[in-house]
Amino acid sequence: MRRFQNLLLMMALAAITVSGQQKDFLTSDEADQIRLAQEPNTRLRVYLHFAQQRVDLIEQALKKEKAGRAGLIHEYLEEYTKIVEAIDIVADDATKRKVVIDEGIAIVLKEEKAMLAKLRAIADAPPKDIGRYQFALTQALETTEDSLDMAKQDVEARRTTVAEAEQRRKAERESLTKAAEGAEGKAVAKTDADKSEQRATDASSPNAEQKATGRKPPTLRRKGETPAPPKP
């Protein structure tokens, strides 16, 4: 599913630290609320509230055509998508740790269905400026659909899905590490080869003996005699 492509790196943030969120898609006040909501069911509700706010802002912006509207909608859609991804990470982490989140998942199912319907309504009756945020809207729709699919799974199925995602992430990380190490090894080998080639060139040059001993090489020319110019 597309969801795993987006979350491979984000799974490393399963504990949902707030440092990156405040900068990326949460206001300072929202970040504080997430920090206080340590219990997974509570945190899911808080994130859902933020997602609903973004959808409300999108609907409000669409009611009136004005300069800069498309840019705002694009921003709200991107923030919404990241919030839904954060919801999934909270749920995945709780599932992995065998924390009961039945209450939170029930709310996720209800609210995400409602938000998905609103986003689909926008896509089905596209505004004139939709070209400016079409991709962001598509991403928001796909992320919500994937999140709903995960929320519908039973606990054991979700735990299996989370484990498989982690295995893929681990394999990808190891592959990238091996590729980097291989590239570094090739670079070192090339540098050593270049140095060896240079040393061989220096050793075969006419001035090699002078460089090595500090003495000029022997010559049959008399003192002060200069070599004859080469014949044309």
Give residue-wise pLDDT tens across range 143-198.
Answer: 999 999 999 998 888 878 877 877 787 788 888 888 888 777 777 677 777 777 77
- Give the separation between CA 123 and CA 130, rounded to whole angstroms: 9
Q: Please report the pLDDT score of residue 123 as a whole number.
A: 97
Q: Which of 16-25, 54-63, 167-176, 215-224 has the lowest mean pLDDT?
A: 16-25
Residues 6+ apart with CB under 8 A from 64: none
Contact 205, 213 (CB under 8 A): no
- Give the separation between CA 56 and CA 118, rounded to whole angstroms: 9
Q: Please report the pLDDT score of residue 198 as a whole number.
A: 74
- Give the separation between CA 227 and CA 221, rounded to whole angstroms: 8
Q: Average pLDDT of the chain?
A: 82
- Give the separation between CA 136 and CA 130, rounded to whole angstroms: 10
- Give the separation between CA 90 and CA 101, rounded to whole angstroms: 10
Provide the token pair at 19. 């440092």
- Give the separation between CA 225 and CA 13, rounded to whole angstroms: 79
Residue 16 DSSP label: -
- Give the separation between CA 202 and CA 222, rounded to whole angstroms: 27
Give alpha helix (H) positions in 153-218.
155-204, 208-213
Q: Which of 16-20, 95-99, 210-214 has the lowest mean pLDDT?
A: 16-20
Query: What pTM did the predictor assign?
Result: 0.66
In this prediction, residues 84-108 reach a mean pLDDT of 95
- Give the separation between CA 184 and CA 178, rounded to whole angstroms: 10
High-pLDDT (> 70) share of the chain, %? 75
Instruction: Give Cα separations from 26 to 18, 81, 113 (angstroms).
Output: 9, 12, 22
Q: Please report the pLDDT score of residue 154 as a whole number.
A: 83
Highest mean pLDDT out of 17-21, 89-93, 151-155, 189-193: 89-93
Residue 39 DSSP label: S
Confidence of residue 97 (pLDDT cuts 50, 70, 90): very high
Q: Please report the pLDDT score of residue 72 as a whole number.
A: 96
Q: Please report the pLDDT score of residue 4 as a whole number.
A: 45
In this prediction, residues 32-38 reach a mean pLDDT of 96
In this prediction, residues 91-111 reach a mean pLDDT of 95
